[in-house]
Amino acid sequence: MTLPSLAQIRDAQTVVYRHMPPTPQYSWPLINERLGAEAWIKHENHTPAGAFKLRGALVYADWLKQTQPELAGVVAATRGNHGQGVGMAARLLGLRAIIVVPHGNSKGKNRAMLAQGVELVEYGHDFQESLEFARGLAQELGLAMVDSFHERLVMGTATYALELFEGAPTLDTAYVPIGLGSSICGVSAARNALELKTEIVGVVAAESPSYALSFRQRQIVEAPSRTAIADGLACRTPNAQAMEIIWQNVARIVEVTDAEIAHAMRALYEDTHNLAEGAGAAALAGALNEKQHQVGKRIGIVLTGGNVDRETYVDVLAGAV
C-alpha cells in the first residue's frame, strides 16, 4: 500500500471537517515535568466518538457512498472504537451498520455503538474470530466489509497527524499506539508528506506483543493477546500491509505493561483532567518508559481515545490495576 500524499490527506480533512472540528494539541506543564521534556498531546479523545477512529470511518464511508451509490450498508468487527466510528459514520451517511464484537466486550463501548443505531452481534472469543465471522456475514448479506486497516482509514487518521505536526512546534519524536496499525501509518504518511525528520515510535501492550515481535523479527508473528486494560491494542495477528509501512517508517516499538498503562491513565487524569482509555494512554506510557532518552527534547504523544468502562476506570484511579 502506498501512503497518502499531502493532497490526499487535505482532501480527507475536507470530508472529516464536515462532521467534526480539528482536535486540539496541548503541552501540559505537569506532564512535561514528569517527562523532563516538552510534550505535545494530541487529544483524539475529544472527537464526537471519543477516539480517532471516527476520522477514518468518515473518509471510508464517504468513499463507499461515492463508488457504490446503491450500497445498503456496512459490516465491521471491533473491540469498540472502530465500531463506534463506523456506526456514527454510517448513521450520518444513511447506511445500515452491523458491528461484530467478541463475547465479553466492553459494556460501555457496546452501549455507545448501540446508541449510534448499529446492529450489534456478539461472536468469538477474541477480535480475530469476530473479524473472520464479520467478513463472512458481509459477503452473505451483500454489504461492504469495513476492515480495521484500509488505505481510506489511513487517509482519515493522517488528518489528525497533519493537525499535530502543523499545530505544534517541530517534534523530535512522536509516540503512537498500535492496535491494527492505521494510526501509526497515518502519522507516518503525514510526517513524510511534510518532509519532517520526526522519529516515530510505536507503542504496544506487553501482554499483546504481536506487532513488537513482528517488527523485531521482520516477519509476521502471531501472539496471544492477554492485555486486561488496553482492548484497543489487543491484536493476535498483525496486518501485513501495516507491517510493511511500519518496517519502512517506524524507528522502534516499545512494549508497556498493563501496570504502566494504568499509571499513564492516572497521570493524564491528575495532570490534565483528561479521560484516557488504556490504548489511549499507551503513548504516554511509552514516553515515560523512555524518558531518559527524551530529556530536553520536544515529543508528540497521541491520546487516541477516552472510551473506558466506568468499573475499569474506578479500579485504575484507585490503584488496583
Any idea which residue has 486497516 for its cell?
Answer: 149
pLDDT over threshold 90, residue 185: yes
H or E element in which residue 78 lies? none
Q: Into which CATH architecture does domain 53-145 fall?
A: 3-Layer(aba) Sandwich (3.40)
The answer to whether residues 95 and 193 touch, using CB atoms and an 8 Å cutoff, is no
pLDDT confidence of 49, banded at 50, 70, 90?
A: very high
Q: Return the pLDDT at 261.
A: 98
Span 192-211, mean pLDDT? 98
Q: Classify the phi-psi angles of 124: left when phi > 0, otherwise alpha if psi is within -120 to 50, otherwise beta.
A: left
pLDDT digits (tens, 9 = 90+) for 217-226: 999 999 998 9
Going by pLDDT thresholds of 50, 70 and 90, the confidence category of residue 50 is very high
Q: Under CATH, which number does the domain 6-52+151-317 receive?
A: 3.40.50.1100
pLDDT at 320: 86
75-79, 170-174, 248-252, 279-283: least confidently modelled range: 75-79
pLDDT in tens, 83-133: 999 999 999 999 999 999 999 998 888 999 999 999 999 999 988 899 999
Rounded CA separation 188/179 (Å) = 15
Q: Are 91 and 97 in contact (CB under 8 A)?
A: yes
What pLDDT band is residue 321 in, cutting at 50, 70 and 90?
A: confident
Residue 79 has pLDDT above 90, yes or no: no
25, containing H or E segment:
strand 25-26
Percent of the chain with pLDDT over 70: 100
Domains 6-52+151-317 and 53-145 share a fold: yes
Domain ranges of the chain: 6-52+151-317, 53-145
> Is-contact 261 281, C-beta < 8 A?
yes
Distance of CA 231 to the CA centre of its chain: 11
